[in-house]
Structure 1
Amino acid sequence: MNSRSACRSVVVVVVVWLGCFCQESWSRGPEDLEQNAAVQRFRSYLRIPTVQPEPDYGPAIAFLLGQAQEVGLAARVLEFVAKKPLLVMTWKGSSQQKLPSVILNSHMDVVPVEEEKWIYPPFAAHMDEDGNIFARGSQDMKVVGMMYLEAIRLLKARGWAPVRDLHVLWVPDEEIGGNDGWGKFAESQEFADLNAGIVLDEGHISYNQTYIVDYGEKAMWWLVIQAFGGTGHGSIYFDNSASENLFKSIASINAFRESQMNLVKAGIKPLEEVVVVNSVFLKSGSPTPDGFTMNIQPSVVEAGFDVRVPPVAEMGAFMNKRIAEEWAPKSRNMSYYFTVKTETKNGDVPVTIADDSNPWWTLLKKAVSKFNSTLSPEIANGASDSRFARMQGVSALGITAIQDVPFLIHSDNEVMNGYEFLKGIKVVEEIIDLYGSFSGSLPSAREQVSETLSTL
């Protein structure tokens, strides 16, 4: 089957699956979603294409500033890197005690699309008769940001006001590591001035009346390995060529990768407890206008790997040693560097305490219990902006208040159901209510955020 016919087959399967899923699982309300203002505002935001690798954030910022004005939130735009704005909306709390604030975080950027593989244009926010809204960002994570705003609209409409300051953040570049967004913000005086007590960020689509909550995540190491050697004619052998040395390393990496994968396949460990290593690029050769020179052995070759390291004590040191001694040893004329490496100074990755010793966890549990739901704490396999907050000693929990929607983050035909969106707003409203009303004492930052886990 060629690639185009394969794409058509995938589209058919997704359409049928979504149709069956919706009929069986999504409850219907009396509202006409086409006339629902919250749904239409969500669709308007989805129609703004903030696509990596060159997103234009200007239209999104303009739209969100308009929303802040409508809702009645103060707003300011920060820019630590040119053309990468960060928007802070603020609802001042009533307390005079300068209580630690609540931060509701969402990122504006989305991943690229292959438009020909979509049922509907990915930035049209088309809504079908079942209320399914097809758009890039409908799950990751424009839905979360708009649920924050719509929940705040409901809270204001019923006369509620927070005791502690409430900030809604709209940040750039999460999809490419976040270093120029949250990364710069976390180290700024502007962040320190917010006096953050808790950051709520994106999580996962959940099922069966249980909300998955990310209390930590694997460290994201984007590793580039380089091998060096003498150049020479392609018709001869010589020891320690650059390609030979790199392929020895790739063999070692693949053997380690297979050992980790086998632990998951055998049911010995879940995915979040093993190191994940995946090859992402291989760069070598002497380019020509129509290909590569075929009779020259290159003097430099390199390969890139996406490595995800569990936040377990000593795991960072273990992986650093393996990379330096086995995957890129100097003895084989090799070197390495990281384009992104998330860790604390001691090599570990901090996590948020996810039990009743942390009041933010207890309040979150209480909020979802109102909807007959429970919490399931997990270590995220992917990365989010939450890590920047945790590395500053601030509690951060990742939750997407959406249940029973097919998981299509970063996939073709990413979709959100309008009815589930409206249900999620009510959950977020309850969370903000409890967080914003909480005036009790908090444990120290050290008691809320642990440097690492002794085990998972």
Structure 2
Amino acid sequence: MAVSYLLWTLFIFSIIFSLQSNSQEQQEEEDTPITRFQKYLRINTAHPNPNYTAPISFLLDQARLIGLTSRTIEFVPGKPILLLTWLGSNLNLPSILFNSHLDYVPAESEKWIHPPFSAHRTIDGLIYARGAQDDKCIGVQYLEAIKNLKSRGFSPLRTIHISYVPEEELGGFDGMMKFAASSEFKDLNLGFVMDEGQASPGDEFRVFYGERTPWHLVIRAEGIPGHGAKLYDNSAMENLMKSVELISKFRETQFDLVKAGKAANSEVISVNPVYLKAGTPSTNGFVMNMQPSEAEAGYDLRLHPMADPNLMEKRIAEEWAPSIRNMTYIFKVKGNLRDNLGRPIMTPIDDSNPWWFIFKQAVEATGGKLAKPEVLLSTTDSRFIRAMGIPVLGFSPMSNTPVLVHDHNEFLRDTVFMKGIEVYESVISALSSFEGVSAQVI
């Protein structure tokens, strides 16, 4: 009797477990905005070997279901740009572009709570994945918002484009830079563009109207080699160390402004040493009794939009790497600080820019609040578009979310993701319905 009861109990438990498993599998297989987001996140597009074929295939499937037209462009083989389009009713008006990038930075799996390419969703709704914030979230939110607008019968006045570009994490040189300079880009007749932003730990959404420009500087010094025991004037190392000291003092003055609360990090010129290279190699490391004839240092400079590029280069040429000390310099990267009309590369956030007012109203219509507009600390693909005089705002609707860009355990809460779709519905409908701007450049 006891054995029979035990078997019966085990049988009941097995049925319950099977039903729970089936229910969980069905839930995981449901086609919802959340599961579509997870599917996109699970496609590994991390450097150094991002898989671009799979995400574009996924996005094309979504575009077909929604009814968007599509085309794929390659300016560099193996690095495709996907462009999706929803035609507006007035093709004479400049169009709107929503941009995101396909790639993301690597992840150290062993340092994550959940595997970085699993898009694991916890019981309290946290979705862990590389790219959850930067920036596959907006890539899916654009499509989900358009899907919802179409289901309600909305018809845009302006044509809406969505672009998915490669290589943003490597500087965008084989992606947006080439796209923005192309005839295909010019033919879009863009009036306004939205690109990625960042999360906000508070209850306000952050928005960015500009970003700092990268200059990657290499300084070289030369001198007469000699015995390590002798003192020389103008040796390579002596000259380089003088420059290192001067650059360190400049860095300190800029950082003091930040520490004193007089400027944000993004409002000063940052300069950080990246490497030092000198010495005569030997089998045991370096020859210690010989002074090298060459020495080199690399620096990452970031210039805020209002910085004077001519004054900065004058400082480098006359103080940091003067030729009278047998020094030279080169820029491995030297981004522009002025657009095609000679203006600082910033998008106006006042009455001179009607797009700003429309965008702000659209966000507030969803109950959202905008924080004080910012200059982005780092760089995005926006700089290539702003340089052409086209207004761009960087925006990712993630409030009450820690900033985990390029960090371990990057995540986005499911409710924050869903709220972002609602926000983009309002933004896309408002921007694409705006009749007031007919010129491409403001």
Q: If the length of structure 2 is used for normalisation, what is the TM-score? A: 0.88
Distance 1:323 1:40 in 2: 52
Q: Could you tell me which residue of structure 1 aligns to residue 5 of structure 2?
A: none
Q: Which moved more, 1:271-280 or 1:370-379?
A: 370-379
Provide structure 1 residue ranges, at least 5 long, that are not aligned to the other structure.
1-31, 449-456
2:268 counterpart (274, 287, 293):
274
Q: Which residue of 2 aligns with 1:211?
A: 205
> 1:304-335, CA deviations, whole angstroms, 9 ceiling, x for partnerless residues?
211111111x6222211111111111112222
For residues 119 and 203 of structure 1, the distance between their equivalents in structure 2, rounded to whole angstroms, comes to 25
Cα 1:292/1:138, change in 2 over 3 Å: farther
Aligned to 1:390, which of 386, 393, 414? 386
Please point out which of 324, 327, 330 is paired with 1:331.
324
In the TM superposition, residue 42 of structure 1 has moved relative to its aligned partner by 1.0
Q: Which residue of 31, 34, 58 maps to 2:53?
A: 58
Q: RMSD over aligned Cα, in angstroms?
A: 2.1
Aligned partner (choices 404, 408, 412) of residue 412 of structure 1: 408
Secondary structure of the residue aligned to 1:222 is: strand
Alignment deviations for residues 54-89 of structure 1 (CA, whole Å, 9 cap, x no partner): 423222222222222222211111111222211111
Q: Determine which of 127, 132, 139 is the counterpart of 2:121.
A: 127
Q: CA deviation at 1:286?
A: 4.3
Against the structure 1 CA distance between its residues 333 and 84, is the aligned structure 2 distance closer, same or farther, given a 3 Å change threshold? Answer: farther
Q: Which stretches of structure 1, 4 residues or more, deviate above 6 A after TM superposition?
A: 345-348
Matched residue type, 2:80: P
Q: Secondary structure at the match of 2:301?
A: strand
Partner of 2:356: 361
* Counterpart pick for 1:261 among 238, 243, 255: 255
Match of 2:137 among 121, 134, 143: 143
Q: 2:35 aligns with which of 9, 20, 40?
A: 40
- Answering whether residue 296 of structure 2 is matched by residue 302 of structure 1, we say yes
Stretches of structure 2 lacking an aligned partner (at least 5 in a row): 1-26
What do residues 140-173 of structure 1 show as CA deviations (whole Å, max 9, x unaligned)? 1111111111111111222212111111011111
Please say if residues 232 and 298 of structure 1, whose CA atoms lie closer than 8 Å, have aligned partners that are also in contact: yes
* Range 275-284 or range 117-126, more displaced: 275-284
Q: Secondary structure of the equivalent of 1:194?
A: coil
| Secondary structure of the corresponding residue to residue 50 of structure 2 | coil
Aligned to 1:220: 214
How far apart are the structure 1 equivalents of 2:395 and 2:198?
6
Which of 419, 427, 430 lines up with 2:426 in the alignment?
430
Mean Cα deviation higher: 32-41 or 84-93: 32-41
Shift of residue 295 of structure 1? 4.6
| 2:110 matches 1:116 | yes
Answer with 431-440 or 282-291: which moved more.
282-291
Q: 1:410 to 1:69 in 2, by over 3 A?
A: same
Q: Deviations over 1:113-142 (max 9, x none)?
A: 222211111111111111111111111111
1:34-57, Cα deviation, whole Å (9 max, x unpaired): 846111111111112222244232
Q: Which residue of 1 aligns with 2:23?
A: none
What code does the residue aligned with 2:158 have? R
- 1:380 positional shift: 1.2
Instruction: Say whether the 8 Å CA contact 1:279–1:303 is kept in structure 2.
Output: yes
Contact 1:173-1:180 within 8 A present in 2 as well: yes
Q: Does the aligned pair in 1 maintain the 2:397–2:423 contact within 8 Å? A: yes
Max Rg structure: 2
- For residues 279 and 240 of structure 2, the distance between their equivalents in structure 1, rounded to whole angstroms, comes to 13
Q: Counterpart of 2:138 in 1: which secondary structure?
A: helix
Decide which moves more: 341-350 or 374-383.
341-350
* Letter matched to residue 333 of structure 1: N
| SS of alignment partner, residue 351 of structure 1 | coil
CA distance in 2, matches of 1:444, 1:104: 16
Deviation at residue 240 of structure 1 after TM alignment: 2.1
TM-score normalised over the length of structure 1: 0.85
Structure 1 position 284 matched with structure 2 position 282 = no
The 3-state SS of whatever aligns with 2:175 is: helix
Q: Does the CA contact (< 8 Å) of 1:263 and 1:269 recur in 2?
A: yes
Which one is further off, 41-50 or 388-397? 41-50
1:203 shift after superposition: 1.1
**Greater shift in the superposed pair: 98-107 or 115-124:** 115-124
Maintained 8 Å contact 1:199/1:394: yes
The offset of 1:94, in angstroms, is: 1.4
Distance 2:66 2:241 in 1: 58
* Residues 1:382 and 1:348: Cα distance change in structure 2 (over 3 Å): farther
